[in-house]
Amino acid sequence: MLYKFDIDKYIQMKKLENLKFLKMTTAVAVLLISIVGCKPKLSTNDFTVDGGIDSLQITASGIFQSLPQQADNPANPITAEKVALGKMLYYDTRLSMKGNNSCNSCHNLSTFGVDNKAFSIGDDGLPGGRNSPTVLNAALHTTQFWDGRAKDVEEQAGMPIMNPVEMHMPSKALVEDRLKKDETYKKLFAAAFPTDKNAVSYGNLEKAIGAFERTLITPSKFDEYLSGKANALTKEEKEGLDIYIKTGCTTCHAGVALGGQMFQKFGIYGNYWDLTKSAKVDSGKITISKNAADLFVFKVPSLRNVEKTGPYFHDGSVSDLNKAISIMAKSELNKTLSDQEVESIAAFLKTLTGKVPEDAMKNPFQK
């Protein structure tokens, strides 16, 4: 005989089983749709299946994935000691030559991992050449930077420190020397890397900051929706998701981070700068790869927390989210969206705004 509590658990288990099965079958359906060139017919009012899981939710579960608790890296296992050290390094202005900048200066965790400027200001007071993307959920991306020149957040963590415009440290040896003079750092490095004879090293600095950034995951109510909670989104937000999928935004902005997994030319249908009114034309990935095919190609940014991370695009040329949506539809899909369609998509995108881990926002150098 089952008690009511057990019955409730059984029903919930069956809901999740159904959803997992539907995710798998939907993924196959989406693949078939892409092969035959048809568009999926979606409607937020189509039908409801067992447990209140709506048809749009089923489709979305085959295109997107919920955020994990952390972004693991087998080559750099996350430990509490590494995270504590990485957090301190992330906020430390001594990693810049003049002491004006820390990682948090351009990737402020109190403002969703960005500084909301078109170009961040470096240690010498000069602006950078590209917009600083959010560090939140960045560890889930396949590469780092707009041109993908870093393979992961560990490699990325060490690059701005040496960059002459950003933090302007002249050598890794000088960074290590500064850290070795601090007794607190010596203890933190030893605790984080107990088997290393010379624990205070630039390589370990990269690993520690990387480990900290791998904990900067921001689940939102969209993750609740993907996990089976059909009423996590409002009717308006579901309509926005429906339009987002139908429009073709998922061509690039899908997966767990809704982006960050591929490169794409900005301006497939015309010059991007004609739409963004950019002050300067950026050649994109070609500056690194020297491959002609990479002209005006950039890493597709994640749309997680996009409501809070403007201004948008690689040059921060557009500050309004609705305008950015219209530009992307026109430049990448050759579609002109109505004001209502843009508003609906924006309503959906705002469901991607998550919660930054509270402890991560506490600057260890401030009381």
Provide the whole-model pTM. 0.86
Is residue 31 classed as helix, strand or coil in its secondary structure?
Answer: helix
| pLDDT at residue 367 in the model | 77
Is 81 a catalytic site residue? no
Write down the domain spans for the chain. 4-67+219-352, 80-217
CB within 8 Å of 260: residues ≥ 6 apart: 137, 138, 140, 141, 142, 299, 300, 301, 302
Token readout for 356 is 């930054």
Q: How far apart are CA 117 and CA 119, in angstroms?
A: 5
Instruction: Write out residues in the chain with pLDDT < 50, as ranges.
Output: 1-50
| pLDDT at residue 54 in the model | 84
Q: E strands along the chain, which residues? A: 48-49, 53-54, 263-265, 297-299
Q: Exposed/middle/buried for 115, CB within 10 Å: 0-12, 13-18, 19+?
A: middle
Domain 4-67+219-352 class in CATH: mainly alpha
CB within 8 Å of 315: residues ≥ 6 apart: 118, 119, 130, 131, 276, 278, 279, 280, 282
| pLDDT at residue 76 in the model | 98
Q: How far apart are CA 311 and CA 303, in angstroms?
A: 13
Quote the distance between the C-alpha of residue 304 and its chain's center. Answer: 5
Q: Give me the torsion for CA of 250, 254, 259, 263, rounded to 10°.
A: -60
| pLDDT tens per residue, range 42-93 | 444 443 444 566 899 999 999 999 999 999 999 999 999 999 999 999 999 9
Domain 80-217 class in CATH: mainly alpha
| pLDDT tens per residue, range 8-41 | 443 344 444 444 444 444 444 444 334 334 444 4
Token readout for 154 is 């560990």
| The one catalytic residue among 17, 81, 155, 166 | 166
Maximum CA pair distance of the chain? 73
> Are the CB atoms for 163 and 175 separated by under 8 Å?
no
| pLDDT at residue 113 in the model | 98
Q: Do domains 4-67+219-352 and 80-217 have the same CATH topology?
A: yes
Degrees, nearest 5: CA angle 222-142-151: 145
| pLDDT at residue 29 in the model | 44
> Are the CB atoms for 141 and 127 separated by under 8 Å?
no
| pLDDT at residue 50 in the model | 46
